[in-house]
Amino acid sequence: MDWSIIDVLSWALILIGGFSVIAGAIGVLRFPDVYTRMHAASITDTLGAGTIIAGLILQAGLTLVSAKLFLILIFIFFTSPTSSFALAHAALSSGIKPLLDKGLLKDDKENLK
């Protein structure tokens, strides 16, 4: 087989992105509250999709497809953190409190002191 460096690098990026998406999905299922789940989903969206799209750009070469993929990548990098911030702000504004260590709410931890 004749593997070029671009092929190896692109498949490495795609595999890293796939691993990141799987790890983020496990985090969304296992984390205890809204904020930590949102963090896992945000990282999955940005890092996982970003590395997969970067690998696809390398696979596509210098074509119109790679230009479109690059625009999608830029769109994801701008909108994902913004939407995660907006969701966290909305959750905090609606009264959902973050859990602290050992499952205590912030108010409960202050009452223990």
In tens, the pLDDT along 46-81 reads 999 999 999 999 999 899 999 999 999 999 999 998
Q: Considering its fold, how many domains does the chain have in total? A: 1
Quote the pLDDT of residue 101: 65
CA distance 39 to 102: 18
What are residue 95's DSSP bridge partners?
none
Q: Judge whether residue 113 has pLDDT over 60.
A: no
Average pLDDT over every residue of 36-54: 92
Q: Judge whether residue 107 has pLDDT over 60.
A: no
Range of the domain at 60: 5-112
pTM: 0.79
Give which of 71, 86, 13, 72 is closest to 47, Cα–Cα: 13
Average pLDDT over every residue of 3-8: 88
Contacts of 113 (CB under 8 A, 6+ apart): none
